[in-house]
Amino acid sequence: GNSVTQMEGPVTLSEEAFLTINCTYTATGYPSLFWYVQYPGEGLQLLLKATKADDKGSNKGFEATYRKETTSFHLEKGSVQVSDSAVYFCALESGNTGKLIFGQGTTLQVKP
């Protein structure tokens, strides 16, 4: 079945450091891929998405490229801020069902 695997956390970085959070997936067909972010005490919010191979999603300085050959969708940011501290979830949607399959989440803590 479809699944999403994220790197283990927590990830602790200093402000202005480079961020990578790895995400790989298993799916039949050609799923759409997403990154959601959950700030403390809040629900999840869509951060970025990519709907086909080689697409790059970007938002708020974050980027992720849909790599079909490596079944990956790694999240990157060139310079993190304290305000980026949150839990990040990779997810996929297969077949236009509206049902998302989430990874286990990766906690990011950015220190000043």
Residue count (the chain): 112
> Segment near other proteins (CB under 8 A), from 16-24, 58-66, 72-80, 99-107?
99-107
- Shortest approach of other proteins to residue 45 CB, angstroms? 7
- Residue pair 103/38 in contact (Cβ under 8 Å)? The answer is no
DSSP state of 84: G
Contact pick of 41, 69, 70, 112 for other proteins (by CB under 8 A): 41
Contact pick of 29, 43, 69, 112 for other proteins (by CB under 8 A): 43
**Which of residues 1 and 112 has its CB atom nearest to other proteins in the complex?**
1
> Segment near other proteins (CB under 8 A), from 21-29, 61-69, 75-83, 101-109?
101-109
Nearest CA to 90 among 111, 109, 69, 72? 72
Nearest CA to 33 among 84, 104, 107, 103? 103
DSSP state of 81: -
What residue ranges bind other proteins (CB under 8 A)?
Answer: 4, 32, 34, 41-46, 49, 51, 89, 91, 93, 96-105
